[in-house]
Amino acid sequence: MIWNKERETMPRKALRELQLEGLKWTVNRVWDHVPYYRAKMEAIGLKPKHIVSLDDLSKLPFMTKQDFRDNYPFNNFAVPKEQLIRIHASSGTTGKPTVVGYTRHDLDMWTELMARIVTQAGVTSDDIAQNCFTYGLFTGSFGLHYGMERIGAAIVPVSGGNTDKQLMLMEDFGTTALIATPFYALYLAERAAELGIDITKRLKLRVGLFGSEPWTEEMRTQIEQTLHLTATDNYGMSELIGPGVSGECECFCGMHIAEDHFLPETIDTETGEVLNVGEQGELVFTSLDKEALPVIRYRTKDISVLDDTPCACGRTHTRMRKISGRTDDMLIIRGINVFPSQIESALLGISGVGPYYQINIYRKNYLDELEVLVEFTDETLLDNFKKLDELTQTARERLYNVLGINVKLRLVEPHTLERTTQGKSKKVFDKRNDPQ
């Protein structure tokens, strides 16, 4: 089923006209209300009147996550505070999170987009949808929540964690649709097996909506086989709106981008050159009708390929291939963004450890485990087990405070970690795709 036939199957020509109108509106809005971006335009002698066709998009300067940080918390908003009705923030990459705001129009648009996503995934008003995304500043949970409500599905806002209870409710309520990160979905299956729950007999799951972190096709197969449901992918990020930017249809040949609200491009990360459709590059999006937080050429750092060939489902919107990685080194651990530099600065602030460290990421029980090895500096600690233990505890707490997740911290003897003598040092060893 198609939620908004008029928009989702719009002929490309009409869609392009709508996009141009939205682009001009957005550029004018930003010029008038977002000083930092106006300054970027002025610096290259660009004015809103120079944007007359969609081809002019490439003249506009990029926005990056740094722009959000520099304008923390509200300076990139294009509306006065009284027009905001919701504020979210992303999990926080450095010290300060990325803050995003919504007007009533923005929230309504987001909800409509989510209604599309869940509908194209196959959810209907008959479904009972259990939301395992953590409710809070994170956009994911609220996006799916309101989208489900809009189509008339019954949303169960269980939030994250509490796996045994999740399973109990899933059985008792007869949950049919599951919202989770892909790795949590696998863990649910494993825990069910441990508890002796025969999923085919006792659960009624039939469709899963997974996203917020990268996951492979192999993972999809595994989820489908263990949870006995159809696993669908959907994508988004808080800077743009949250989830709702793109999602899979019943053809499973990429995620349709809500092109009537977001203009996609792929660029060469190094040069910033716009790539042809079909070429792999960094995704860049421009919002077309967002009021509170218009974004122009926002560089996502996510790597994908655009595909505008016709889709058998009838939707005309361009599709994007599953995200294959990120241009930077950001690690997503159980859906939380972690930068190696955060770990480094946290460790280096503790006297008695470092500066040599190593980050290992592996998967245990289908969940990501972050292990940090760091050298302690005082050799005499080798004979003082209590002190060593205290130091480990201090470092672990500090990492938890900075990252918001538990880290498996191991203090290792001085001079045991590898030193790099040439070129860049490799500190991150991501072993999540190694066989378990």
Name the site residues for ligand ADP (rule: CB under 6 A). Answer: 90-91, 138-140, 211-214, 233-235, 237-238, 300, 302, 323, 326, 335, 337
Q: How far is the CB of 32 from ligand ADP (least distance, A)?
A: 27
| Closer CB to Zn ion, 205 or 313, in the complex | 313
Min CB(114)–ligand ADP separation in Å: 13
Give the residue carrying structure tokens 């004018």.
28
Q: Which does 78 bind (CB under 5 to 8 A by kind): ligand ADP, Zn ion, none?
A: none
Q: How far is the CB of 295 from ligand ADP (least distance, A)?
A: 12
Task: Work out the angle at residue 89's Cα, subtended by the Cα atoms of residues 304 and 28, and round it to the nearest 5 degrees.
Answer: 70
Cα 67–Cα 71–Cα 73 angle in degrees, nearest 5: 125
Q: Which residues on neighbouring strands pair with residue 371, listed in sequence order?
A: 360, 408
**Residue partners of 107: CB distance under 8 A and separation at least 6:** 85, 86, 146
Alpha-carbon distance of 115 to 315, in angstroms, equals 15
Residue listed under structure tokens 């300054």: 39
User: Which CB sits closer to ligand ADP, 25 or 74?
Assistant: 74
Q: How far is CA 106 from the centre of its chain?
A: 19
Identify which of 231, 229, 223, 264 has the alpha carbon closest to the alpha carbon of residue 246: 264
Interface pick for Zn ion out of 60, 151, 313, 407 (rule CB under 5 A): 313
Q: Which of 7, 116, 315, 317 binds Zn ion (CB under 5 A)?
A: 315
Which one, 8 or 302, has the nearer CB to ligand ADP?
302
User: Considering the complex, what minimum distance in angstroms separates the CB of residue 250 from ligand ADP?
Assistant: 17
Closer CB to ligand ADP, residue 260 or residue 282?
Answer: 282
The C-alpha angle with vertex 16 and arms to 10 and 17, in degrees rounded to 5, equals 100
Helices assigned H by DSSP within 44-138: 65-70, 104-120
How far is it, in rounded angstroms, from Cα 44 to Cα 53? 18
Count of residues binding Zn ion (CB under 5 A)? 5
Residue 290 interacts with, from Zn ion, ligand ADP, none (CB under 5-8 Å by kind): none
Query: 181 or 316, CB closer to Zn ion?
Result: 316
When CB distances are held under 5 to 8 angstroms depending on the partner's kind, the choice from Zn ion, ligand ADP, none that residue 266 binds is none
Q: Is 227 in the site for Zn ion (CB under 5 A)?
A: no
In the complex, which residues of this chain contact Zn ion (CB under 5 A)? 249, 251, 311, 313, 315
